[in-house]
Amino acid sequence: MMQRAPHSPMAGTGWLVGWRLTFGGEDLGWEGALATIVEDPDSQVFVVLYDVTDDEPLLDRWEGSELGLHSKIRLRVQTLEGSVLAWLYVLDAYEGGLPSARYLGVVADAAEAAGAPADYVADLRVRPCDGIGPTNGG
C-alpha cells in the first residue's frame, strides 16, 4: 500500500464477516488468478483498513477500475472498536483459477505483517497455487 497509496496511513484491522477470500480472473493477471472476495455466510476475511483520502484516484488506477477489472463496494468491517463502513475492490470476473506461489506468498506475508492470527496465515500459506516458488515469503 505504500506504493499504491503513499498518503494513506493504516487505520486498523478487522474482519469481513460473511465473506470468503478467493481467487479469480486467471486470464487477467500476470501471475495467475487475482485475490477477491465473495459472499459466504460461514466465512470471514481478515482485512487491513486504511485512511484513504487523496490517494483514491491512484488506487482506482492501480486496481484497473477504468479497465473494468474491479468494482468498488462498501461493506461493514468488524473491528475491536465496533463496526466500520469501508470500501473494497471486488474483481469483476468469475471465481476460479490458481494464484502464483509468489502472489499467494505476498498475500500471506501481508496478512502476517498486519497481525492476522497465526492459523489464518498458515491456512493462506497452504492454499493451492500455480507455479514454482515459496509461499512463505522466502
Work out the angle at residue 41's Cα, subtended by the Cα atoms of residues 75 and 65, and round it to the nearest 5 degrees.
35
103 marked as binding residue: yes
To the query of whether residue 39 is one of the catalytic residues in this protein, the response is: no
Q: How far apart are CA 25 and CA 85, in angstroms?
A: 26
| CA nearest to 52, candidates 18, 117, 1, 122 | 1
For the chain, the straight-line distance linking the first and the last C-alpha, in angstroms and rounded, comes to 20
Contact between residue 75 and residue 86 where contact means Cβ atoms under 8 Å apart: yes
Q: Residue 85 phi/psi, 5° resolution?
A: -90, 130
The kind and range of the H/E element at 76 are strand 70-79
Q: Which among 26, 31, 39, 63 is annotated as catalytic?
A: 63
Residue with cell 463502513: 85
Q: What residues act catalytically?
A: 63
Binding residues for substrate: 103
